[in-house]
A and B are shown apart, each in its own frame.
Chain A
């Protein structure tokens, strides 16, 4: 049994090396798929009777929902509820709308916008790690 643990060359990989390689590649593939290619749920804004499109967003290690569909030309109110104290999410940035807003923990912060142009507008945390986007149709 100890024979298999003697130094080896690349050509003669032992069983555990093969296992680790296959498992590692599979894991790397999963990471790429999970973070970049898996589909995300899209939330549409609820239009209230007054014509304001309101969306409630929970901030906890990310934004849920993180893709929000709204109609252009109608006022939008995004209610961010920050459900954590982690400092990563303490700031919200919507660069296309010139917004940098501090989000107090365990509070709802409303942000009003009037999207005029269709397109995809990102919002991120202060350091651009947490991401979400506003799809204006």
Chain B
């Protein structure tokens, strides 16, 4: 008997029309095991009835994705935090255990070392029974092997079974060989003596190598924890509780996982915002630095979006929850950073190829070293020399330095980027940003605010500016036109008194009229005044001509049948744009602007921010073609856009930077997302990429040079000429230091500061 069907609801994303809904429905219905599927286009939900023995939620998700849409993961999902917590706990335990193992190894190695050195002192040599001393050394070394070094042998053996060789293989074979030789010399010295060999022991070598390598691991683990510190602090930003206002007005503190969409949450001064939502009442200034890198508090009021993990500064307000769990901006940032840290940089390819064959190759070199020394050295010393150099080769080789070179730098820098509101999608984007020599800026929304703002307000002689502005704002408050919104914002910023308006009438394509304080007020273009037979005084006409020449939009205001003033509106340049563009130019990058505006306006904006090359009258559809044209000139192009209608251009560019953050589309198409609407982020992103790639190059250079020099020296390459042989203990020290050096170098990126 098959189990009864189950019903589930999926949140579908990406549906833009009713036809999409039916496509999703069909795809779901065709999935084996699905009994019925109903997709509601308005609520963006699919209700599916399916047989759990034939279909799974993952299969349903796949069906939706096959149809070309996405399934929003059902919130709440705190798995990232949970997993991180569990791994952190295990790592902390492993770290304590590692320190214990190191402590035992270091203590015993010190004793073994001192006792072994006694043998170099002739007076002691006479009195001490060598054979007895060897037994004592054996007993002291055993715990180092079996307790401190156990993991090396277990791991090497497990790896061997999988035909895989890792760093532990090298350590296990190296120390194992030295130990077994010593063991034989201790147990059966007669065998050695009978062949004319002194039964020498290498317990000090064995114990010291293990102690030094464990020291390296302790340092490495400590440094590695710091590479993901930024990530951990991001996850830690998540609020634990929220104060939900129940429909009956009761305020309850609830666990963050219990917060549901549509809940009203109360936020008091100094509190952390629990999750994403829209303010319903109240106003405040919020510190959003943790998400956007913006250091100044952001003013918010009813209708504005707030984001989980940001901090409320001054006022208190209520907001309606619009996103929870995995859908929140914070969760998206965490996921993006996590993904970026898992990506592979093209620069790493060579290191990857080398590390894949590294360990077995080193083992082969070590064997050949042994054979050569055995064959070439004088008979009396050939076995100890062959052994010592065999061990030194195995121990000095450090695949870790190669393996750590790139990922650690990427981890630190993606974390650092997130701290500055620069989200790097993957290592490849970071590497591309390093190669960029041309930055193409889409004017609207990047250089400029992307929304009209009042630039000039001019009252005709005889008019009181405050009164006039209040009258104009009263009319515009009723209007839905974007220009009207700019006027209202301006009036509010000037603290103009708010007045009621009656008989509001919007005149299509011209403006609006209303009666305010008993007077007829008109606001709109020249055509609106002409239609009302209102003539323009000369002074006003001259002022309008001046503003129009600056490529601004001019609104005429008339009160009681008389032209009374002008308001000009334009998309204004961000305050920081000029400085940021200059910095980019100082970094040796050519900055090019692209805009849909006419050449005059384009020239003006370009001059204002110090750009010499620009494309004007670019249709949205042609943006990508302009990127391509620049690339055809042999340039590596970074395209900066607001992510709204320039997705193809962002994708076409060598690296796309979407500004303004927050929109899912932008985060998906851009290689780098700038959370803060500010060109300074472009500077930060490129500087960060330059520092990161430089660090990676240093690391890789060091790792390659270390191994290519270290291995031959350990094999005795310097012996024929200089008579230098490398003690395996020195080799162990070098090896421990090499991976720590690479890590420390990567950690230097934590000191990155944005200008």
A-side interface residues toward B, CB under 8 Å?
2, 4-8, 10, 13-14, 17, 20-21, 24-25, 27-28, 31-32, 34-36, 38, 40, 48-52, 60-64, 66, 73-75, 77, 84-88, 90, 93-102, 104-105, 107, 109, 112, 114, 126-131
Contacts and interface: CB of A to CB of B under 8 A. Distances in A.
Contacts of B69: none
A109 B368 CA distance: 42
Contact of A50 (B33, B156, B399): B33
B62 A128 contact: no
B147 to A, nearest CB: 14
A53 to B, nearest CB: 10
Nearest to B352: A128
22 contacts: A5-B380, A10-B375, A17-B374, A20-B386, A35-B165, A35-B359, A35-B360, A36-B360, A49-B55, A49-B56, A50-B59, A61-B161, A61-B162, A62-B162, A75-B61, A95-B343, A95-B344, A102-B83, A104-B86, A114-B65, A127-B355, A128-B355
B630 interface: no
Given A85-B94, A102-B87, A130-B164, A5 B379 contact: yes
Nearest to A7: B378
Contacts of A64: 162
B556 interface: no
List the 6 shortest-distance A-B pairs measured between CB atoms, nearest first. A61-B158, A62-B162, A100-B342, A127-B403, A95-B344, A50-B56
Contacts of B379: 4-8, 14
B58 interface: yes
Chain B contact residues: over half helix, strand or loop, or mixed?
Answer: helix
A79 to B, nearest CB: 13
A92 to B, nearest CB: 9
Contacts of B53: 49
Interface string B575-619: 000000000000000000000000000000000000000000000
B90 A49 contact: no
B527 interface: no
B341 interface: yes
Given A5-B195, A77-B58, A102-B87, A24 B162 contact: no
Interface residues of B, number: 75
B338 interface: yes
A98 B355 contact: no
B730 interface: no
Nearest to A92: B342
A130 B159 contact: yes
Given A5-B195, A52-B58, A129 B338 contact: no
Contacts of B154: 61, 84, 86
Interface string B111-155: 000000000000000000000000000000000000000010011
Contacts of B426: 98
Nearest to B158: A61
A72 B693 CA distance: 34
A31 B62 contact: no
Contact of B55 (A20, A21, A50, A99): A50
A80 to B, nearest CB: 12
- Most chain A CB neighbours (cut-off 10 Å) among B61, B83, B164, B357: B164
B155 A88 contact: yes
Nearest to A52: B58
Contacts of B385: none
B340 A98 contact: yes
B41 to A, nearest CB: 25
Given A98-B426, A127-B404, A51 B163 contact: no
